[in-house]
Amino acid sequence: MISTETFNLLIRLINYVIGIPFLIFGMLGSILTVVVFTRKRSFLRNTSVAYLLAGAIITGLHLPLIYIQTILVYGFNTSLMNTNVAACREHTYLRYVTTVAAISFPCWAAFNQYATTSRDVAFRNRWSSLHFARIVVLCNIIFWILIYIPILFSTDIIHGVCVFKPCAYTTFNTFVFTPLVYGLGPAAVFILSTRGTIKNLRSNFTHNANERLTIQVRRMLLPQLIILAISGIPFGFQGIYLSMTSYIQKDAWRIALENFIGQIILIFYHFNYVFTFYIYVLMSSEVRKILNRQILKVTRFNKIIPTDAAKENSMILRPVQAATSKPKF
């Protein structure tokens, strides 16, 4: 049987070997997603891309603000949020807001795919316009900022750990809201939107002028939604198990085992933030083309062109030709 010390060592190694590279590749992917999506006009005019771009921006905030703290806690056994109440509440609040906001945008993009393929012109124009997408992005962020305000009053440091205090909101958030938002909700949106999109595509109706880009966006979105739906279920229901067993006396081995399993679930869930851009690169030739173009621009800008110093600094001496005509007096 694996000992407690081995579990604790594995937890630290997970954060060293996987957590830190995840953080680096995830932040790099977020930056590159913004760069690629803002370099092509057809991308900027695509409503699904507008949602994916917003998700990349939120991910770029989530990873340095939240994931660094997780690595510090489980990898280096140090964290401000476990020693300062204000930092504890701020960290928990931002963790929920940025996490849910980031995963909600791919769900909106899935719904947009269904709306853009609808035969109902009024429905399509109302729900798949770029103006509507921009409003949704803004309202979506504001909604999650407001909906999670109770977290600021429901978290505290208990026994040296930043956790939720026992209260009605904690029970509702653990048993209802979190499983719905992280697991059941995204899975339902993915299944219903994908099913509706496939049904619409099977009809002999096409209206999109840029069909090639639309197909590539759909191919980019599908693997992202599958990962989101699968990884969200264990992540969303983990809190229920911890809450139901919080009153049980646990020895050090069981605590270490639960922490280890929790780290595996957390790593798997962060696939949504780390590998999104690389899925885009794999599934879209347009993304690869723009990325190659940007790389060439950077390499050409930084390239040092050698010059022939001898030629640049040399003086060309030309003989003065003698006058061929006689001077006139």
65 found inside a domain: yes
For residue 64, being part of any structural domain is answered with yes
Q: Hey, what amino acid is at 35? A: V
**Averaged over 232-256, what is the pLDDT?**
86
Residue 303 has what pLDDT? 58
Average pLDDT over residues 258-274: 89
CA angle 74, 245, 183 (to 5 degrees): 70
Asked if 52 and 106 count as a contact pair (C-beta separation under 8 A), the reply is yes
pLDDT score of 24: 93
What single DSSP character describes residue 158?
Answer: E
User: Would residue 194 count as lying in a domain?
Assistant: yes
42 dihedral zone (left: phi>0; alpha: psi -120 to 50; beta) = alpha
**79, 73 Cβ separation under 8 angstroms:** yes
pLDDT at 175: 93
- pLDDT, tens digit (0-9, with 9 covering 90-100), for 312-329: 444 444 454 444 444 443
Q: Would you say residue 234 lies in a domain?
A: yes
- Top pLDDT among 82 and 34 is at 34
Answer yes or no: is 176 within a domain: yes
Query: Which pLDDT band holds residue 79 (cuts at 50, 70, 90)?
Result: confident
Q: Which residues contact 235 (CB under 8 A, 6 or more apart)?
A: 182, 183, 265, 266, 268, 269
pLDDT at 315: 44
Task: Count the domains in the chain.
Answer: 1
User: What is the three-class DSSP state of 87?
Assistant: helix
**CA-closest candidate to residue 261, choices 4, 23, 11:** 11
Q: Is residue 132 part of a domain?
A: yes
Given a cut of 90, whether residue 141 has pLDDT beyond it is yes
- Rounded to 5°, angle at Cα 198 from 190 and 228: 20
What pLDDT score does 225 carry? 87
> CA dist 271 to 59, 118, 266, 274, Å?
11, 31, 9, 5
Contacts of 232 (CB under 8 A, 6+ apart): 103, 182, 183, 186, 187, 269
Q: Mean pLDDT, to the nearest integer, of 298-302? A: 73
Residue 266 domain flag: yes
Give the structural domain span for 206.
7-303
> What's the pLDDT at 44?
87
Radius of gyration of the chain (CA): 28
* Cβ neighbours for 167, distance < 8 A, ≥ 6 positions apart: 154
pLDDT digits (tens, 9 = 90+) for 172-227: 999 999 999 998 899 899 899 989 988 888 875 555 556 777 888 888 888 888 88
* Per-residue pLDDT at 78 exceeds 70: yes
Residue 268 lies in a domain: yes
Looking at every residue in the chain, the average pLDDT score rounds to: 85
CATH of the domain at 136: 1.20.1070.10
d(CA 274, CA 29): 7
Stretch 128-136: mean pLDDT, rounded? 92
- The answer on pLDDT for 251 being more than 70 is yes
